[in-house]
Homo-oligomer: A and B are copies of this chain.
Amino acid sequence: MTAPLHEARSGTPDTQQGMRRRNLSRVMHTIAADGPMSRAAVASRIRLTRAAVSTLVDELIRAGLLEELGPERPGRVGRPGSALAVSRSGPAGVGAEVGVDHLAACVVDLRGEVRARAERHVSNRGRAPEPVVDDLAALVRQVSEEADREGLRPAGITVAVPGLVARDSRTVVRAPNLDWHDTDLGALLPAKPPVTVDNEANLGALAELWLGERAPGDFVHVSAEIGIGAAVVVDGRLLRGTRGFAGELGHVPVHPEGPPCACGGQGCLEQFAGEVAVLRAAGLDPGEGRVGLLAERAVSGDRRVRSALREAGTAMGIALTGTVNLLDPQTVVLGGALSRLAPWLLPSLEAELERRTAGPACEIAVSQLGSEGPLLGAAHSVVRAVLDDPAGVAHSA
């Protein structure tokens, strides 16, 4: 819970006005995390006077961000307080996802509940950005209309893409499996509500941070759709890298004299544990199917598939040894499509990590969010932005 405060703080100067904005955010985050609760409970939690909290709460109710649930049960000393909850209507977050094989969109309310969701299976490999974005916009309209009927109003849209996104931009610099280069998605989408574009591995990691069961503050989140991506979270903050390109675990050299990689390197992790490499090692046609097929065959006991996944786990263990020695995370989380393959990847991955890590090996966990992570992370990133700066939403409403 410290990171959003940090982020909200960094943009606002240390004035009465800045302090008010930060305190509005602290009230929202407190009620979102632990509500419903009374004004007095909020005041004691964030160490402000009850009078100060009441002023802030009134402003948040007027903006439609909080609602009163009515008086708390009687029998307590003093005037009965009304329980406050984050609003089920009003501002909401829209998540949208461009996958290699699918498109999806959803709406999440300020309480974190998914209120609408739509998906379409379509092969986007090699398709031009314009028709893909048109299809995605249709899905977004569909879920937005559904949400609108329940009194929800999109405060923003975040689009997850399987590619590198330049930091603080909406430009997909490179998405090899879509064959997109320097594609400005901002120019292709409607201007309102505001659109953010982010890498799917980043959004999957943020979903794990915000929604995961353990929610550790320091972890490396490894995910895969076709390539292998990762995201590094330190002290509850996503590490984006100078240009926004951090997390390219798939291109860590594992066997430096190994096969050439599309990135220009040689012997990268993707050459040993990427989907194409694993399908090939398993004797399956890379065009034939994807992670689902591998999981089915592994469940059914296919030896060649299991052996291919074991080898992939070993390669991942080598790449992750370097990662763990460099970053000392609390946990490595296998997320995205990889979570389905975890039973066959983990034994060799853990053995390699255990054997090679300089310190005591870090914990390995499997995400419960699975392939849904990036889409949820996208919608929740809008919700978090509202909680981090409710004054911004209140004034633009």
Contact = CB atoms under 8 A, between A and B. Distances in A.
Interface in A213-255: 218, 230, 232, 234, 239-249, 251-255
A10 interface: yes
Interface in A317-344: 318-319, 321-323, 325-330
A14 B22 CA distance: 8
Contacts of A327: 232, 239, 241, 246, 326
Contact of A323 (B255, B265, B326): B326
B230 A330 contact: no
A328 B26 contact: no
Contacts of A254: 253, 256
A13 interface: yes
A279 to B, nearest CB: 22
A249 B323 contact: no
A242 B264 contact: no
Contacts of A234: 234, 239
A46 B13 CA distance: 8
A359 interface: yes
Nearest to A262: B358
A47 interface: yes
A2 interface: yes
A9 interface: yes
A120 interface: no
Interface in A8-48: 9-10, 13-15, 19, 22-23, 26, 46-48
A385 B256 CA distance: 43
Contacts of A246: 326-328
Contact of A265 (B232, B264, B328, B355): B355
Contacts of A265: 321, 355-358
A191 interface: no
A164 interface: yes
Contacts of A243: 328, 359
Contacts of A362: 242
A326 B323 CA distance: 8
A77 interface: no
A266 interface: yes
A214 to B, nearest CB: 13
Contact of A325 (B244, B251, B358): B251
B242 A218 contact: yes
Nearest to A315: B256
Interface string A246-276: 1111011111100000011110000000000
A355 B263 CA distance: 9
Contacts of A240: 328
Given A248-B326, A328-B242, A253 B358 contact: no
B326 A230 contact: yes
A57 to B, nearest CB: 16
A15 B47 contact: yes
Contact of A252 (B15, B244, B245, B322): B322
Contacts of A247: 326, 328
Given A265-B356, A358-B248, A359-B164, A318 B242 contact: no
A50 interface: no
Contact of A241 (B253, B328, B356): B328
A6 interface: yes
A328 B244 contact: yes
Interface string A292-333: 000000000000000000000000001101110111111000
Residue in A246, A254, A330 whose Cβ sees the most chain B Cβ within 10 Å: A246
18 contacts: A2-B10, A13-B47, A14-B22, A14-B46, A164-B359, A234-B234, A241-B329, A245-B358, A245-B359, A246-B327, A247-B326, A253-B254, A253-B321, A254-B256, A265-B355, A266-B356, A322-B322, A326-B327
